[in-house]
Amino acid sequence: MFRLWARIFQDNRIQKDLVVCRPGTENRTRKIFDALQEVCLSFDLPEPIWLDGNIRDFKRHSHTRFGQDSFLETIDFDYLEIRIIEED
């Protein structure tokens, strides 16, 4: 089972959170992108752009933060954080 935890922060407080479970035989990258797409649909957000820093953080620590610079549209929160909490 693959589980990804997504949280929206505003002023150092969690405004929204969601855990997405992805069963199946897909590769890790596909599970991450599908889970992030599900998060964005649920939170009614545009999908963020993966910048070099996001990729580096995610490879090292299995989590990253998407701030305003990762979105093409203006966002009304400080950042979106995603973290893998379980991997098979």
- Tell me the pLDDT tens digit for each residue of 31-53: 999 999 999 999 999 999 999 99
Residue holding tokens 């922060």? 9
52 three-state secondary structure: helix
Report the predicted TM-score, pTM, of the whole model to 2 decimal places. 0.92
Q: What are the Cα distances from residue 74, in Å, to 4, 30, 55, 62, 78?
A: 24, 27, 22, 26, 11
Sign of the torsion formed by the C-alpha atoms of 53, 37, 41 and 81: negative
Residues in the chain where the model's pLDDT stays below 50:
none
Share the mean pLDDT of the chain: 94
The whole-number pLDDT of residue 25 equals: 80
- What's the DSSP call for residue 12? T
What distance in Å separates the CA atoms of residue 11 and residue 33, rounded to the nearest whole number?
Answer: 27
